[in-house]
Structure 1
Amino acid sequence: MNIFEELGIHRYINAQDTFTKYGASCMRPCSLRAMQEISRSCVDLDEVQRKTGDAIASLTRNEAAYLTNGAAGGLTVCSAAVLALDSEEAYHALPETGARCEIIIQRAQRNQYDRSLAATGAKIVYVGEGDKPPSRRELEEAITERTAAVAYFIYHGRDASLPLEEVVEIAHRCGVPVIVDAAAQNPPVENLWRFTALGADMAIFSGGKTLRGPQDSGLVLGKREWIERCRRWGPPMDGVCRGCKTSREAMVGLYAAVKAYLAQDETAVQCALERACARFERTLRGCGFTRVWREQEGPVGQSFPRSFGTVPFGSAVRLAQLMRTCGIYIGAQEDNSILLNPLMLTSRQVGIVCEALKQSMREMKREENKNGCN
């Protein structure tokens, strides 16, 4: 009896997205091997943190790296680093803060994840308006002696925000660091060093999404002085960041995943995704979808294709429900279209999704006919 049978847990094929609630992505075998190896021994966790971080930094062309228990945990550790700096007294007082307690965010980038910054006691200060970026002068005037950092969310509010390059230039001229949330910003692979090359002091990535490391893992990449502070105040240190504890298994599992991600042929991966989308789209047309199209951008601006189709009858929500009874997650859009994402799928699973879609459309047609007779 396997664990699914023992606990009565259902398996799903994820043709929607690397959402946390779906378990994000499936781990690479190399990550599982590394995790199993280290799980058999006790280690010095600080040594594991430092050596895996140094190895990942070298792989990703960064000065240093810190491994977290996820992107949200990374935001909290970075927040603690900019509030405490090098003061043990200041760190252990958190979430009670001193005068330097503000983190600035452009108002268009306001989102639910900025609460992870506020968890340390930081006060979030929003500048600009929701539908247009602040002026350079507005941002400059918002930075005062109370400012600990400027945070920048790569995707949220991107059309109504100052560019990262300008934010970095202004913040650094005013003597404050910049924290970048890039949790789901892969592919392309160069994003792992692009934001820090633009001057970000700390850039945060999820380990459990496209990197395909452990779901409860994440990366902070950046400048050595700030990563050293993350190492100092992050787990296993007691205090406000203790809940961001990262296991030895998650750290080496993420290292193995990053190594494999950087070694893969990105062109070949993209070609495989395009072939999967073409197969989806043939199936959608064969099922009578009234409009079928492809987008070359992921849900938060990543570079990979997804297929969409407008449901010819019934509702996209109902179709997604029927697909879930087949053990498959798909997306249902507000415009009564569905989305099919090949990012997490093997070639075999693409075929399973297509056959399930045909079956679900037949079932929905029967429901429509039955309702029409009543």
Structure 2
Amino acid sequence: MREASAVLVNVDELNEAAGAAIARMLGAEAAFVTAGASAGLILQAAACIAGDDPAKITRLPDTRGMRNEIVMQRAHRFAYDQAYRVAGGVLVEIGLARRTQPFELETAINERTAAVAYLVSPFTSPPGVLTLEQVIAIAHARGVPVIVDAASMLPPRENLTKFLRLGADLVSFSGGKGIRGPQSTGIVAGRRDLVRAVALNASPNQALGRAAKTSKEEICGLVVALECFMAEDEKAEMKRYTELCATIVETLDDIPGLRAVVEQDPVNRVLPHAVVYFTPDWVGPSGHAVQVALAQGEPHIYVQQGAHQGGYFDEIAIDPINLQPGDERIVAARLREELTRRA
């Protein structure tokens, strides 16, 4: 990134070269570096609504008279879906909180539909919702693209190619998080024509996406970070995370009323997590009280707690991805201190 800062480049050419390099790594038709995964959602919507039409691009977010509806399952509504509306998208919600039936998507698609959005994220796809495969089949049969937000689903590395292989038209990933590239970057990958539309709606063009500018330094940094991420030994990485979590669990497993375990699964905890469940015999502080005490203490420790933050019940979950050597013992000691604190 330091070297990139000292070089004058044509940003359009850099975007094209970086996108080509990323596309090769992902096995995608094309790719584009965005200013984070949320900016990727804005550009997904802009590409599906305005395409490569300069007249429509310059009108965004005014989408009157355009195909501007983006269909989403209610179970997939989340704070960041506002990004679709930034581009002028009109959200059309289907289904119930934990169930969507195929006919609901079939009848929601009409001449105003620009895309169907699908969220791939922990604790957002209970058994009753439509799967990505179902959504792709229904949408494609009606000529409508499917746009996927998979910002937080790396690792595993197979997810970089999985959703595209299933037939998603555009997929947005975070360049930070698991890839550990510049935190202000992201990737949109997918169909060549739609990625071209993404680029036309993005910086350095004078379009809606100009506000979500990526610098040459960030673009280069992300490409290198992705190369490093792809080369890393994932089995060894998961083993290390499991060991970190086991240290935390072992420090807590003798506390009455708690069930401390290491959990990992393909959907809700894609990385090993140390999870503390409260049994009916628990008489100590609430999970929320422990979470707040950890966040306000020294050092600040941030844990997931409760279903509203991605969970099953009121459990506390520790994601080890940002822990440095020795941090796990600090986290374990502070957890034990707060869990055994008496009022």
Determine if the TM-score, normalized by the shorter chain, exceeds 0.5.
yes
Distance, in Å, in 1 between the alignment partners of 2:168 and 2:196 is 15
Aligned to 2:242: 274
Contact residue 328 and residue 353 of structure 1 kept, 8 A: no
CA distance change for structure 1 residues 248 and 285 in 2, over 3 Å: closer, same or farther?
same
Stretch deviating more after TM superposition (95-104 or 322-331): 322-331
Q: Secondary structure at the match of 2:87?
A: coil
Equivalent positions of 1:1-374 (< 5 A) are: 35-97=1-63, 98-135=65-102, 137-155=103-121, 157-159=124-126, 160-285=128-253, 290-297=258-265, 301-309=268-276, 310=278, 313-324=284-295, 325-331=297-303, 333-334=305-306, 337-358=315-336, 360-361=337-338, 365=341, 368=342, 371=343
Stretch deviating more after TM superposition (248-257 or 73-82): 248-257
Of the two, which has the highest radius of gyration? 1
User: 1:85-126: CA deviations, max 9, x gaps?
Assistant: 221001101111123111111222222221101111111112
Distance, in Å, in 2 between the alignment partners of 1:231 and 1:91 is 11
Task: Please report how far the alpha carbon of residue 321 of structure 1 lies from its aligned counterpart in structure 2 after TM superposition.
Answer: 4.1
Task: Please report how far the alpha carbon of residue 302 of structure 1 lies from its aligned counterpart in structure 2 after TM superposition.
Answer: 4.7
Contact residue 280 and residue 354 of structure 1 kept, 8 A: yes
Distance, in Å, in 2 between the alignment partners of 1:302 and 1:263 is 23
Aligned to 2:310: none
Q: Secondary structure at the match of 1:104?
A: strand
* Superposition RMSD in Å: 2.2
Q: Secondary structure at the match of 1:254?
A: helix
Contact residue 91 and residue 239 of structure 1 kept, 8 A: yes
Distance, in Å, in 2 between the alignment partners of 1:343 and 1:316 is 21
Which letter maps to 1:105? Answer: M
User: 1:126-163: CA deviations, max 9, x gaps?
Assistant: 2223331122x332222222111111112364123211
Q: Which runs of 5+ in 1 are unaligned?
A: 1-34
CA distance change for structure 1 residues 71 and 178 in 2, over 3 Å: closer, same or farther?
same
How many aligned positions are there? 329
Stretch deviating more after TM superposition (196-205 or 106-115): 106-115
Aligned to 2:309: none
User: 1:185-228: CA deviations, max 9, x gaps?
Assistant: 11211100100110111000111111111111111011111111
Distance, in Å, in 2 between the alignment partners of 1:242 and 1:53 is 18
Distance, in Å, in 1 between the alignment partners of 2:106 and 2:258 is 50
Task: Give the alignment's TM-score, normalised by structure 2.
Answer: 0.88
Stretch deviating more after TM superposition (167-176 or 331-340): 331-340
Contact residue 201 and residue 222 of structure 1 kept, 8 A: yes
Distance, in Å, in 1 between the alignment partners of 2:201 and 2:338 is 54
Task: Please report how far the alpha carbon of residue 184 of structure 1 lies from its aligned counterpart in structure 2 after TM superposition.
Answer: 0.4
Contact residue 49 and residue 66 of structure 2 kept, 8 A: no
Which letter maps to 1:49? Answer: N
Q: Which runs of 5+ in 2 are unaligned?
A: 307-312
